[in-house]
Amino acid sequence: MRIIIFANGNLPNLEKARALIRPDDFILCADGGTRHALALGLTPNVIVGDMDSLPSNFNLSTFYGEVILFPKDKNETDLELAINHALTLHPDEILILAALGGRIDQSLANVALLSSLQLATFNIKLTDGVEEIFFCWHQAQIKGRNGDIVSLIPWQGEVTGVFTENLRWHLHHETLYPDKTRGISNEMTSDVATVSITSGFLLITHITGN
């Protein structure tokens, strides 16, 4: 099973987001993320959150899916609660849409959520059809097009043994440091690139081509 989680950030291109959706995807909305599902003509299977940012044209009383309600005064964001619920369903893959844009604190927090060791064995990404963000724990594959921009960002400390294939500027068992920009704005030279590391957490951002 693949779960699509809609967060309450921005979707810069609805058609590119629509192209990510499969007919058998399980649709999970983090409160205000419901607006994006509705804009794409999708009916959520589950809505999670405190329900303080649902779109005004959405009538919760006539919604036949599952609603998991939390109090407004809580320690987690609606997206964190949505991810936690998604994990209980044991999916093969999780795509989180609309987790970026708007408030920078929310965007940074959403990226940070992916760094949880609990998610290390899951195939989970932030994506919107234009940009995707995920962590490399040991090895990662990037699927795109020749010329796509890929950045490798050390997270929480240095990352050692960085080895890349099919990126324009090849890294050969090198160390990337969090206070340096060595890994920014590399380019794919094929439709598939690979990255492997020896230790550390490596954040990968991939800006897709047209």
Same domain, 110 and 45: yes
129, 158, 180 - which closes a domain: 129
Same domain, 125 and 145: no
Same domain, 74 and 141: no
Same domain, 102 and 156: no
Closest CA to 55 of 82, 70, 42, 36: 36
| pLDDT score recorded for residue 6 | 97
The mean per-residue pLDDT over the stretch 111-122 comes to: 84
110, 129, 148 - which closes a domain: 129
86, 110, 129 - which closes a domain: 129
Domain boundaries, position 186: 136-207
Same domain, 34 and 101: yes
Model confidence band, residue 61 (pLDDT cutoffs 50, 70, 90): confident
Same domain, 115 and 181: no
Same domain, 19 and 79: yes
Same domain, 110 and 144: no
- CATH no. for residue 70? 3.40.50.10240
Strands (E), the chain: 2-6, 26-30, 46-49, 66-69, 93-97, 123-127, 131-136, 139-143, 149-165, 174-176, 186-187, 192-196, 199-207
| pLDDT score recorded for residue 140 | 95
Same domain, 125 and 165: no
Same domain, 8 and 82: yes
Same domain, 80 and 169: no
Model confidence band, residue 164 (pLDDT cutoffs 50, 70, 90): very high
pTM summary value: 0.92
